[in-house]
Amino acid sequence: MEEYMLPCLNKKLFGVECFGCGMQRALVLIFQGEFVSAFYMYPAIYSLITLFIFIAINIFFKFKYSNRIIGALAIITVITIIVSYIFKIIN
């Protein structure tokens, strides 16, 4: 599975990692059962998974405050992505 991963074009062309760098590797680590390593690879992976699962469930079962929940999960995910990207650049 790892040989079929897409390369980061931003990193290849400009030498700078993008906001999504590490997401594919984190998913592979989750499938391998290495949950802590997946978090260290891409900290927003669990909030992204939670967001997508909630959106998928919301398609079939409507919740009363689903828009607020999706908005809050999206904000948490974006903040996590930005903060982890800043820490990745600093280190």
pLDDT more than 90, % of the chain: 68
Is the CB of residue 26 less than 8 Å from the CB of residue 42?
Answer: yes
| Residue pLDDT, tens place only, 2-27 | 778 888 888 888 888 888 888 999 99
* Sequence-ordered strand ranges (E) for 11-90: none
Is the CB of residue 72 less than 8 Å from the CB of residue 54?
Answer: no
Is the CB of residue 41 less than 8 Å from the CB of residue 25?
Answer: yes
> Number of C-alpha atoms within 13 angstroms, CB side, residue 21?
16
Where exactly are the structural domains of the chain?
A: 2-90
CB atoms within 10 A of CB 68: 10
pTM for this one? 0.83
| Spatial separation of the C-alpha atoms in residues 85 and 81, rounded to whole Å | 6
Find the mean pLDDT for residues 25-37. 94
